[in-house]
Amino acid sequence: MAQSVIYIRRLTKTLNQAYFQSEHLLFEPTTPNHDAIALVFAFPNSYTVGITSLGYQVVWANLARRANINVSRWFTDAHENLPRDIEILGFSFSWELDYVNILAALNQFEIPIDSRDRQDHHPLVFGGGPVLTANPEPFAEWFDLVLLGDGEELIGNFLEAYQTVRDAGRMEKLRHLAKIQGIYVPQLYHVTYDAPDGAIAAITPIDSDIPAIVQKQTYKGNILSASTVVTERAAWESIFMVEVVRSCPEMCRFCLASYLTLPFRSASIESSLIPAIAEGLTVTNRLGLLGASITQHPEFDSLLDYLAQPQFDQVRLSLASVRTNTLTEKLARILSQRDSRSVTVAIESGSERLRQIINKKLHNDEITQAAINAQAGGLKALKLYGMAGVPMENDRDIEQTIEMLISLKKAAPKLKITFGCSTFVPKSHTPWQWQGVSKTAEKKLQYFRKQLQSKGIDFRPESYKDSLIQALISRGDRRLTKLLRLACTYGDRESPSDGSYKRAFKELRGELPPLEWYVHQDWAVDQILPWQHLQIALPLATLIKHRAMSFSEIQNHDLLDLSANRSN
């Protein structure tokens, strides 16, 4: 047993050295003061995954540049030298199912899971990232505070406010921090229910000194994020990432990436993008342009011309998903010349009707032209993303998607066509947060596979069962906390199966609503949502209006069809 422990320790030390010694830093860390705050900044997944997160990189560099912070990084398989007495423990939370690793980390650091059980000598535990900004409630009891919004200014505001109460008691610290915009202290809010397994009755602060509504903090500058470290150990090996835009102006009704990060912002080419690219290419020849809709940058064509210069002939260029009607032959040609074999576009569906309901401003002829342009520009593959089980979807919509994909093979026969398909999952702070997951989605994924693979189209569905767990967490309230912990005690603790969650629901029957209510049921727009006390981007009334607009698209489309049939 002792030899096994020694071996594990040696292996961990070897991994730590291999991971961190391979890094090329693009900033100069500051030497911490003697009384600096001992802060561990954790990513609840492997180093390879975590270091590929641009958000994690940027916040870590922000911390490492501060003389009053002594920061150490922690991943599930590697960590830097950790302080003996941790003062603050932070988590960057990007994927819902990584919650199991947060529980494991709290146990490893010997910190009580429930924040109410922590004493003054325990570290202050904070969390941030898209999962917590969207809906922190299923995990609310695990965090002393949650940072809602963009980290550029929020992390500094948090640390500055903390410094003023550093020597105070735990509750005094939390009460002080709760008054800073973007900082949410869950234990200072009381949630009541109509019944243990009923709807939420009210969410109220514990007293009048605490804000009734917590406002997300939004960074509105035009200098966006860029990699602060490049390493061959990243999931995208040796890539330098640059954020071209943040959010998306299209506002598809299901899209968390758009609604959560509003308003749409674009990075300045002169003061942000070009300087960042020049610096990054001093340590690597692989460049990744990131953003939900990068080709909608108002000066994207100028950026493309800049990257087309001969001095960048050896650069490997990768793009995040591009808007279909901006996939020109010029873009495809430059990508091909810069060692890209494929490009990704999100079409959602091959049905014009369904895209109108979604608010996807796109036509089938534009998708066809994108495929033709990709082939003409020298690309080898086109990756398309869509969904099954979209609200108001019918069988004809599925058939039209299949027909459209098959037509692309004819229009661009040299291209490898890949169709990645997910199940619609309702996301908080979007107009479709009230809509449940369709029970027919799994059968539709199976039907897609049967129809497409025989036609030479590479079909790649996301796991339907994983989608159900995402939906559960996405629409969850605080009553899920006990269930999530319980599910981890069944079977594989590192990755509970859907059966583990069903078993936990059965065991906790009567203590919370059933799985059906969280995942599949359509909710009434007047019910209190678990995250209703958190103001992220758009007010509730606007989301209700956008939802109504999507329903009206059905009526408009049906009226047009009726008129066309009568004229025929």
User: Each residue of 420-469: pLDDT tens digit?
Assistant: 999 999 999 999 999 999 999 999 999 999 999 999 999 999 999 999 99
CB proximity list for 212: less than 8 A, separation 6 or greater? 204, 205, 533
- Say what the pLDDT of residue 5 is: 37
What is the token pair recorded at 540?
Answer: 């509730």
What span, in angstroms and rounded, lies between the C-alpha atoms of 380 and 182?
A: 45
Residue burial 402-431, b: 16+ Cβ < 10 Å; e: rest: bebbbebbebbeebbbbbbbbbbbbbbbbb
User: Mean pLDDT of all residues in the chain?
Assistant: 93
CA distances from 77 to 42, 49, 101, 509 (A): 11, 11, 11, 36
CB proximity list for 305: less than 8 A, separation 6 or greater? none
Element (H, E) at 101: helix 99-108
Mean of the pLDDT values across residues 140-146?
A: 97
Sheet holding 416-423, edge to edge: 342-348, 381-388, 416-423, 458-461
Mean of the pLDDT values across residues 5-32?
A: 75
Query: Do residues 106 and 125 make contact, with C-beta atoms less than 8 angstroms apart?
Result: yes
Is the pLDDT confidence value at 1 over 50?
no
What span, in angstroms and rounded, lies between the C-alpha atoms of 529 and 477?
A: 8
Where does the pLDDT of residue 495 fall: very low under 50, low under 70, confident under 90, or very high at 90 and above? confident
- Say what the pLDDT of residue 558 is: 57
Where does the pLDDT of residue 478 fall: very low under 50, low under 70, confident under 90, or very high at 90 and above? very high
- Among the listed ranges 180-189, 404-413, 493-502, which one has the minimum average pLDDT value? 493-502
What is the token pair recorded at 516?
Answer: 């059906």
- Say what the pLDDT of residue 358 is: 96
Beta strands 189-193 and 200-205 are antiparallel
Q: Which long-range contacts (CB under 8 A, 24 or more apart) does 407-410 make?
A: 407/368, 408/367, 408/368, 408/371, 408/382, 409/455, 409/456, 409/457
Where does the pLDDT of residue 497 fall: very low under 50, low under 70, confident under 90, or very high at 90 and above? confident
Query: Do residues 314 and 286 make contact, with C-beta atoms less than 8 angstroms apart?
Result: no
Where does the pLDDT of residue 494 fall: very low under 50, low under 70, confident under 90, or very high at 90 and above? low
- Say what the pLDDT of residue 490 is: 86
Helices 364-376 and 329-337, axial angle in degrees (round to 10): 40
Mean of the pLDDT values across residues 467-486?
A: 96
What span, in angstroms and rounded, lies between the C-alpha atoms of 158 and 165?
A: 11
Is the pLDDT confidence value at 563 over 60?
no
Ordered alpha helix ranges (H), 112-181: 130-134, 151-164, 170-177
What span, in angstroms and rounded, lies between the C-alpha atoms of 434 and 428?
A: 9
**Cα angle vertex 402, ends 401, 406, to 5°?**
115
- Say what the pLDDT of residue 566 is: 47
Number of H helices, E strands in the chain: 20, 21
Residue range 277-293, pLDDT digits in tens:
999 999 999 999 999 98
C-alpha closest to that of 203 among 211, 215, 212: 212
Q: How large a percentage of the chain has pLDDT more than 70? A: 94
Mean of the pLDDT values across residues 23-30?
A: 96
Where does the pLDDT of residue 2 fall: very low under 50, low under 70, confident under 90, or very high at 90 and above? very low
What is the token pair recorded at 454?
Answer: 């025989």
What span, in angstroms and rounded, lies between the C-alpha atoms of 507 and 491?
A: 15
Q: Which residue has the higher pLDDT, 39 or 568?
A: 39
Mean of the pLDDT values across residues 307-330?
A: 94
Ordered alpha helix ranges (H), 324-440: 329-337, 352-358, 364-376, 395-411
